[in-house]
Amino acid sequence: MKNPSPGWRFSFLGIILSVFPLLILARIIMVQANPAQIKELKAYGDQFAWEPHNIIPARGQIFDRWGNILAGNETVYEVGITLAEVRNPDTIALICSVVFGLDYDKVRATAELEARPDQVYRVLTQTATQEQIDQYEVMKERVLQDSPKDKDENPPSLRGLSYLKRLKRVYPEKQVGANILGFVNGDGIGYFGVEEYFNSLLADKPKTIWLPKDPQLLEDVPEVPNGADLILTLDRQIQAQMESIIDNAIDENGAESGTIVVLDPETGEILALATTPRFDPNEFQNYGQVFPPGTQYNPAISQAFEPGSTYKIFTMATGLDSGAVKPETSFLDTGAFEIGGTTIYNWNYGAWGPQDMQGCMQHSLNVCLAWIATQIGAGDFYKYMDTFGIGQLTGVDMAGEVSGRLKTPGDHDWYDADLGTNSFGQGVAATPLQMATAASAIANDGIIMTPHVVRSMIHNGNQQDFELRTLSTPIKKETAHTLTEMLARSLETESSDALITGYRVAGKTGTAEIPTPYGYTSNLTNASFIGWGPTDDPQFLVFIWLEKPQTAIWGSIVAAPVFREVVEDLVVLMDIPPDFVRLKLYGQ
């Protein structure tokens, strides 16, 4: 019997096996040749082919002049809830209260919120630590393991709860220098001081880039540079010491507030700037409690006040420089001087008889200074005040500076009498930094350097020092030396409480009545002192302001001793030898 040929079976199998690849090939061609389908599939594929990568550049650090960190960053975590993904609000609330110390009811209420287009994600905390996150991960594992395997209606679940790494601003020195630094809020925005003034330099904007998941499509992760670092002119030790001194002075004198400005008159560098109130910028959320409405964050640049007698140094400088008076010019003080229909009296309403210009400064005679102003003339007087920078911004590199006010001829509210009152610091408003800056002309051969708190910037790995800038030159070098000598002798003759053993300093006290809406009717004063030294080579200039002291109203009683205390610390912290040692060493 002939065996049936198996050939047809093989042929059939061959046809079947050929048809399938042909169908697949046809389908491939159909798909790949159809533009609409290509577009659709590509878009679908792209959804899964790329993932976002957030790059948050670190905010630049801030150092003091010796390289100590005043503002740095540390890693914290933001914990939040994606509302649409929440399965069990109770589990989330329980874990958050146990691990992050959050309020159970508040978290539960947040987790139960309905997800809407305008309500997708809610932040629970922005300051979770690494330890808390580690603890959370352990708890999460436990929740997953302990979940019942059978179908529970609402099994424990942490779905919807997530955390995100971020950097938080940290101020290691806490309150020290807080008024200069300002602070950064939870959203990374700088407020006040250096943090606000240099916000765009310190903080580069966060960037989101899309990276392919396909490792063969490897792409460069662009380098997003960190914010620039800043090196300040501040010395943290001097700053801390000045803050301690002003706090003690306020306590001892019952003053409402106080300010100490210390700057190098030769460069305009601010070495310390201590003010009250202060707070720890790490706890910026307390801002409203520490600084109620009307309270300035940094009164040294933001609060103008009538300086009183410390202002007389500018009038005398103008008189000497313009040639209106000389140190030996004599003046007969009768105790009263009339100008523009207003009679000017001395601080004790007394007549001091014949005086030379040093006597006028030594006894702080309003009558004499008003007379000098008339000798100068309103035109020159206000021109000089303009070059001293009174009524103008100093241009200091901190946010929140105000210009104060100096009425000048031509202003609707300026009267002839203002020339007299302005001459001894009444009817004029200046900030403590303005006063210190203007006085630096007398301490620095007649030249005012722009006050500044930032010395250098580090960006792209390079340190760039900011150039020192001359603000103005209101008086001649000789005038500056003459006035310094007059002021130094005045202190020595008066045996002032401002004198320091071993160091010759020049300075002037100030006691200013505080104007009210009804005139100078208050018994309260602003007590101040401005001084510099050593007189032959000034290395520091100090301005002290105590607002409304209670123990005494006079600057010579409450502010001068503070100046001495400040200088006693400064000479140690700045390594300034006593005058006789310095002159002996330099003479070698």
In the chain, the amino acid numbered 247 is D
In the chain, the amino acid numbered 404 is G
Nearer to another protein, 95 or 571 (CB): 571
User: Residues 6 or more apart from 224 whose CB is under 8 A from it?
Assistant: 55, 57, 204, 207
The 439-478 contact track toward another protein, x by CB under 8 A, reads: ----------------xx-x-xxxxxx-------------
Beta carbons of 307 and 528 less than 8 angstroms apart:
yes
Segment near another protein (CB under 8 A), from 28-36, 317-325, 359-367, 570-578? Answer: 570-578
List the interface residues with another protein, window 65-84 (CB under 8 A): 65-69, 72-75
Beta carbons of 578 and 332 less than 8 angstroms apart:
no
Q: Which residues are paired to 513 by β-bridges? A: 525
Count, residues near another protein per rule CB under 8 A: 54
Q: Cβ 584 to another protein, closest distance in Å? A: 9
Beta carbons of 546 and 559 less than 8 angstroms apart:
yes
The 148-177 contact track toward another protein, x by CB under 8 A, reads: -----------------x-x--x-xxx-x-
Question: Does residue 229 bind another protein (CB under 8 A)?
Answer: yes
Radius of gyration of the chain from Cα atoms? 36
Segment near another protein (CB under 8 A), from 56-64, 322-330, 361-369, 378-386? Answer: 56-64
Tokens matching residue 382: 């206000």
Nearer to another protein, 335 or 578 (CB): 578
Among 58, 143, 209, 351, binds another protein (CB under 8 A): 58
Q: Cβ 132 to another protein, closest distance in Å? A: 15
Task: Please give the DSSP secondary-structure letter assigned to residue 327.
Answer: T
∠ CA 107-108-114, rounded to 5° = 105
Nearer to another protein, 277 or 577 (CB): 577
Q: Where are the alpha helices (DSSP H) in 393-431?
A: 416-423
Instruction: Report which of 542, 533, 585, 547 is spatially closest to residue 563, judged by C-alpha positions.
Output: 542
Segment near another protein (CB under 8 A), from 41-49, 80-88, 230-238, 287-295? Answer: 230-238
- The SS3 call for residue 568 is helix
∠ CA 392-394-396, rounded to 5° = 145
The 110-149 contact track toward another protein, x by CB under 8 A, reads: ----------------------------------------
Instruction: Report which of 451, 443, 539, 448 is spatially closest to residue 233, judged by C-alpha positions.
Output: 451
Nearer to another protein, 26 or 217 (CB): 217
Distance in Å from the first CA to the final CA of the chain: 136
Residues in contact with another protein by CB under 8 A are: 58, 61, 63, 65-69, 72-75, 165, 167, 170, 172-174, 176, 211, 215-221, 229, 231, 236-237, 240, 455-456, 458, 460-465, 502, 568-569, 571-572, 575, 577-578, 581-582, 585-586, 588
